[in-house]
Amino acid sequence: MILRAGIGAARHGAPRKKRVGVIGTFVWDVIHGRDARAVPVEEWGGITYTLAGLDAALTDEWEIVPIMKVGHDLSARATQFVRSLRRIAPDAALVEVPYAGHRVNLYYQDDEHRTEFLSGNIPGWSWVGLKPLLDDARLDALYINFLSGWELDLPTAQMVRHHFAGPIHGDLHMKVMAVQPDGRRTPQAIPNVAEWCGCFDFLQMNEEEMATIAPDPMSLSATAMAAGVSCLLVTLGKRGAIYVVSPGFETICDLPPRTGLITGPRGATGELGAVRTGLVPAVHVDDSGDPTGCGDVYGATYFSRMVVGDKLADAMNAAARAAARNVGHRGATGLANHLRGELSLT
């Protein structure tokens, strides 16, 4: 059953808003050991933190178009969450599929380390299934967060890159995790790292994911820049985040223009010179807060601020503040309001 209808439909009498598409996975979390209470906490996880971050950081000129499947058992609840967002496109909806939705049991060892067990096996997108949705969505930017790890395989991701002219953000996240027979997620190396890097203008991962992908940060940076990534972001938890950017890259306008079918890498700015790198310190927060989703909020915020026209440093600082603010809110429900500094009654 398909729940979406008319993503490309015109809205008469209203100026066209710019649109950011989001590919990812809804996940229902059962969280153990996050605080002293013995009772597990159940709440939304997965793509919901990204959606909340985008909703809070984008301006009124933008709207969000989710392009994602949801299991039949979670579709009504996921649709309710999507419709609670202020900037969701009025003509967008989710694709219900006849599979059980993704659920994760998380066991926290400390604020930054946890073990996850996944159930549910919603299949990823094929290019044949995804292309009509992308064409209808009329996107200006695209955010891809691998929350199952198999939302897109490499050939499909390459086809997206070759056919979409706008900026693409990729958070590799669970792409570097395998699922064992008992559902436990364990680290796995990514083959074809350079080819994956070539699918994105903005590439994000955390420190542990980076260690799984490459032997050292410099080799990964060199691979990413050579493949056409303009900004590589690695989140470091309480130590903040580091970034590496291509020569001359400062704003979204520095991305070379793309039109039509692309058969080669985007190639960053084309300027000569050294890449730039920097550390964005984390904003201090109370250690008793909830770190779940901080990386997702960080990435969603900095990409949002970049596409609306901020300079890189301003976007990174906004992301650091948003991630810190996320620590003070439990769960994704009502998170967008909290990130905006509004009172949430949910």
What pTM was computed for the model?
A: 0.90
Asked whether the predicted pLDDT for residue 346 surpasses 60, the reply is no
Closest CA to 54 of 161, 171, 136: 171
Q: Is residue 77 part of a domain?
A: yes
The domain of 153 spans 18-338
Residue 114 confidence (pLDDT): 77
Number of Cβ within 10 Å of residue 346's Cβ equals: 10
Asked whether the predicted pLDDT for residue 109 surpasses 80, the reply is no
Q: Which residue has the tokens 């996320």?
A: 326
Please give the Cα distance from 63 to 137 (Å, whole number): 11
Q: Is residue 221 part of a domain?
A: yes
Asked whether the predicted pLDDT for residue 5 surpasses 50, the reply is no
Degrees, nearest 5: CA angle 246-204-166: 65
Average pLDDT over residues 289-306: 93
Q: 186-190: which pairs have CB atoms within 8 A and are 24 or more residues apart?
A: 187/212, 188/212, 189/213
- The total of structural domains in the chain comes to 1
Percent of the chain predicted with pLDDT > 70 = 88
Question: Given pLDDT bands bounded at 50, 70 and 90, which one contains residue 107?
Answer: confident
Average pLDDT over residues 300-329: 96
pLDDT in tens, 158-204: 999 999 999 999 999 999 999 999 999 999 999 899 999 999 999 99
DSSP 197-226: HTT-SEEEEEHHHHHHH-SSHHHHHHHHHH
pLDDT in tens, 258-291: 654 444 444 445 556 778 999 999 998 876 677 8
Residue 10 confidence (pLDDT): 43
Q: Is residue 7 part of a domain?
A: no
Helix, strand, coil percentages (3-state) for the chain, rounded to 5, are: 30, 25, 45
Q: Is residue 343 part of a domain?
A: no
With H, G, I as helix, E, B as strand and everything else as coil, classify residue 77.
helix
Residue 270 confidence (pLDDT): 53
Question: Given pLDDT bands bounded at 50, 70 and 90, which one contains residue 13?
Answer: low
Question: Given pLDDT bands bounded at 50, 70 and 90, which one contains residue 37?
Answer: low
Residue 253 confidence (pLDDT): 94
Q: Which residue has the higher pLDDT, 151 or 92?
A: 151
Q: Give the lowest-confidence range in 6-15, 115-124, 245-254, 274-283.
A: 6-15
Average pLDDT over residues 150-162: 97
Q: Is residue 61 part of a domain?
A: yes
Residue 38 confidence (pLDDT): 62
Token representation of residue 297:
């909020």
At 95, which CATH number? 3.40.1190.20
Q: Which of 29-38, 95-104, 279-288 has the highest mean pLDDT?
A: 95-104
Q: What are the phi and psi torsion angles at 196 (to 5°)?
A: -65, -45
Q: Is residue 10 part of a domain?
A: no
Q: Is residue 324 part of a domain?
A: yes
Q: Is residue 9 part of a domain?
A: no
Question: Given pLDDT bands bounded at 50, 70 and 90, which one contains residue 301?
Answer: very high
Residue 262 gets which letter from DSSP? -
Please give the Cα distance from 330 to 52 (Å, whole number): 13
Residue 57 confidence (pLDDT): 98
What mean pLDDT value characterizes the chain? 88
Q: Which residue has the higher pLDDT, 269 or 299?
A: 299
Residue 123 confidence (pLDDT): 96
Closest CA to 334 of 36, 52, 13, 46: 52
